[in-house]
Amino acid sequence: MNPAGAVALVTGASSGIGEAVARALADGGATVIAAARRLDRLERLSGVEPLALDVTRDEEVAAALDRIRARHGRLDILVNAAGVMMSAAVADAKTGDWRRIIETNLLGLMNVTHAALPLMRAAGSGHIFNVSSISGRLANVGSPAYAASKNGVGAFTESLRKECVKYGIRVTLLMPGLVDTELFMHVEDPAVRARFGAMMESMTVLQPRDIAAVVVFALTQPQHVSISEVVIRPTEQIE
């Protein structure tokens, strides 16, 4: 699929990976609906349609897809990049933070996909990208709920991939390692923050544009080629 002329929805587009993907697709000629809760951030992005969206609210998700259907009549690309990370050891964690992580990272992704899929099925084509994390494979102390949410994203994506084969829809799971984003600003636990800080200072970490390049690569492969899973780490990252 060539981004030029395609209609794309990117969640979590106000910063980080979502923002970088929205920019890359827009630069490639796609019509990009850039969605996130922080509308003021989205309005600074050039060449996109800003859309205020909280992926945890079913009514907002439904309204967003109705708007896309009415304005564009189709959806070719979906990039689920909305996510949060509040890290703490199990004994020290706030269960409300766990709920927010699961509702955003997993249920929000599932809700957006559920609402978007009928448009792609009707067209008999499309490409869905779900942003997970290397934490979905390798859970470490201090981020149990985040790891659980990303593990769930992996399981959901594999089931979705198998379901979508008969509709001509490709599905790609992205599992980045350390990326320089705002995600780590949500970490309140001093010990966990220090561990992440030390890891990031010890290597040249990925930039959001590196993940965006992977999206464009997978997207532009021939239709018979499905890049189903991608693990992308900094060269120096061991874990």
Residues known to be catalytic: 146
Residue 41 token pair: 């951030």
Helices (DSSP H) in 30-108: which residue ranges? 39-42, 58-72, 95-101
**CB atoms closer than 10 angstroms to residue 3:** 21
Pairing of β 7-11 and β 31-36: parallel
DSSP character at residue 12: S
User: Contact at 8 Å (CB) between 161 and 228?
Assistant: yes
Report CA 195 to chain centroid distance, whole Å. 24
